[in-house]
Amino acid sequence: MSAAEKDSLTTRLGDRVNPILIREVHQALNGRGFLVTAGLALLSIVVIALIVAAEDDISPREGEFFFTSTLMALVPILFFIVPFQAFLSMRAEVGGGTVEHLLMSRLTPGAIVRGKLIAATVQFVVYMAIFSPLIAMTFLLRGVDVPTIVVMLTLAFILALGSSAVAVACGALCRWKSFFKVIPFGIVLLGLGWVTGGSMVILEDIVRETRSALAEEDTLHWMSMMLTPVLVGVILCALIGASALAHPYANRSTAFRVFALLGLLISLGMALYNYDHQAARSLRYYLDLGAQLSTAITLTAVCLCLFPFFAATEAPRLTPRVANSVPRNPLLAFLVAPLLPGAGRGMVFTLLLTTLALTALYVLPNWWDGDPATAEAWRVTTATWLYVIIFAGVAGFVRNLLGPQPNRNWFARGVLPAMLFLGVILPLIFSAVGGRGPVRSWSVLYIFNPFYTLSRVVRWRMEGEIMVWLWGLAVLAVLLNVVPMVRGVLEVLAAAKARRGRAA
């Protein structure tokens, strides 16, 4: 192509834009839904303006009312209509099989999900533009200050993004068997309805709380503590959506394992940030660093427990696609092995995650010049992570007995509810049959009931015996998986060697 024929900068920039985003915005703006929604939005603007104009004496209170009313009109659009459209769009895409054709192009599942989410964001901006005269008016009426408006709109944006992420993920999950199509639809309808209705009910309180928080100059702290989990949730939903869209034989594990690692690091970061913030302000609800880290790491284990569990119950072998993407360098291949799909490698990942979590609890208080975790905090955190190893280990062992077929994964995943059911119900039955009456003390029969056992670890004084049992079981769970773990790593090294051979 000659210089004269070179594309203009705008064309080249336009080429960089996600095609899904362009198509989604085209479709949304061409559709009747947009015309109807925009029409209703304009109508609501007129109605709100007329109500305020009808007041004899316009005071700052009218400005606050004006602002709250504007948000009330925006909430259903941003938290329900736009996300629901994103859900329907994704569902239509996966239902008709068009997504398969898109995946044959250069679009990746991640790009498709990102495109849908950014398209929802663009619609957010369009609706904000429609409502902007009204929002400007709220400031002119002197009822609400600019920081409050900015913070409220930022909150609305993040929550709208979160709602859209949940909707897109549910839409992508419709790709699975017909049974599942009803469940995502129900989740989206009820979830978005609940968020929208709840937001409208507590909107006034949120505006008030925001103003008082701004007055205390504590905005950044509480916003970051509130919004970080939402943003992490958005990323998780995007990963779930992309995973549902991806080919069953593509690598759908690494992103989740990296997410789990990052989730642990983020929770550690939030604990450190919160500790510094509280220490700097000498707040009365100040907690020492060990306690904060212990709480964060324990909660992370609870929130992330499904990740190791799913990792340990994947099909044991690498698919040809994944094997062909293993790094050729043997050291690099060895290092990334725990992040690659496969039950044995999933168990290695679980052990690494546990080690990282417990090491952080030991090391970080010393580095940060804070108080170390108390013995009780150590026990609770360790016990929680040991449960993660035990359940993942047992399920991984079962998975390896079931053979290499990928469709056996869900049989092994049934181990978790089965173990929980048996662990919770059976001891109660034994107690009842044995005539011992209500449960008064912990015994080894309750070892597979993590809820009861952890509560005993916190409160009771027989923690030494419980911990011995938990350590014993965890070691046993690891031993049951030693062979698959070694095989898993060796398989990655063999794939790397095969790639080196082909390249040579």
Partner 1 sequence: MTSKPLLSVRSLSRSFGKVKAVSDVSFDVERGQIFGFIGPNGAGKTTTMRILATLDLPDAGDAWVGGHSVLEAPRLACQQLGFMADRFIPYANLPVAEFLDFMARAYGLRGRTRTRTIASVVDFCGLDEFLSRPTTGLSKGMAQRLHLAKTLLHDPGLLVLDEPAAGLDPRARVEFRDLLRELAAAGKGILISSHLLSELSESCDGVVVIEQGQLVVTGSIDDIARQVQAHNAILVRVQSGLEAAERFMLTQPHVREVLIRDGRLGFEFDADDDALAELLARLIGEGVRVSEFRHVEASLEEIFLRTTDGRLQ
Q: Which residues bind partner 1 (CB under 8 A)?
A: 1, 5, 7, 11-12, 15, 19, 22-23, 26-28, 30-31, 92, 96-98, 100-102, 104-107, 247-249, 319-321, 323-324
* Residue among 219 and 325 whose Cβ is closer to partner 1: 325
DSSP readout, 75-116?
A: HHIIIIIHHHHHHHHHHHHHHTTHHHHHHHTT--HHHHHHHH
Least distance in angstroms from the C-beta of 101 to partner 1 = 7
**Cα–Cα dist 398/396, whole Å:** 5
Q: Scan for tokens 């600019």, then name that residue.
A: 146
DSSP 383-445: HHHHHHHHHHHHHHHHHHHT-S-GGGHHHHHTHHHHHHHHHHHHHHHHHHHTT--S--S--GG
User: Rounded to the nearest whole angstrom, what is the least distance from the CB of residue 462 to partner 1 in the complex?
Assistant: 51
CB of 122 to partner 1, least distance (A): 16
Tokens encoding 458: 């916190």
Q: Pick the closer one to partner 1 by CB: 290 or 316.
A: 316
Cβ proximity to partner 1: between 94 and 311 the closer is: 94
How near is the Cβ of 323 to partner 1 at its closest, in Å?
8
Residue 7 CB, shortest distance to partner 1, in Å, is: 3
- Nearer of residues 172 and 361 to partner 1, judged by Cβ: 172
Q: Could you give the CA distance from residue 175 to residue 153 in angstroms, rounded to a whole number?
A: 34
CB of residue 36 vs partner 1: minimum separation in angstroms? 13
What are 489's two structure tokens? 């790593």
What angle do helix axes 289-304 and 375-401 make, rounded to 10 degrees?
20
Nearer CB in complex with partner 1: 118/134? 118
For the chain, report the end-to-end CA distance as a whole number of angstroms: 35
Closest CB 319 distance from partner 1, rounded Å: 7
* Cβ at position 170, least distance to partner 1 in Å: 20
Determine whether 445 is exposed, middle or buried from the number of CB atoms within 10 Å of its CB (0-12, 13-18, 19+). Answer: middle
Residues 51, 45: Cα–Cα separation, whole Å: 10
Q: Do the beta carbons of residue 471 and residue 386 sit within 8 Å?
A: yes
User: Shortest gap between Cβ of 15 and partner 1 (angstroms)?
Assistant: 4
Which DSSP state fits 339? Answer: G
Between 32 and 284, whose beta carbon lies closer to partner 1?
32
Q: Which residue, 16 or 461, has its beta carbon nearer to partner 1?
A: 16
What six digits make up the tokens of 392?
């993942």
3-state secondary structure of 93: helix
CB 120 within 8 A of CB 20: no
Question: Going by C-beta distance under 8 Å and a sequence separation of 6 or more, which residues neighbour residue 300?
Answer: 263, 264, 267, 357
- Give the residue with the Cβ less far from partner 1, 104 or 201: 104
Q: Whose Cβ is closer to partner 1: residue 38's or residue 439's? A: 38
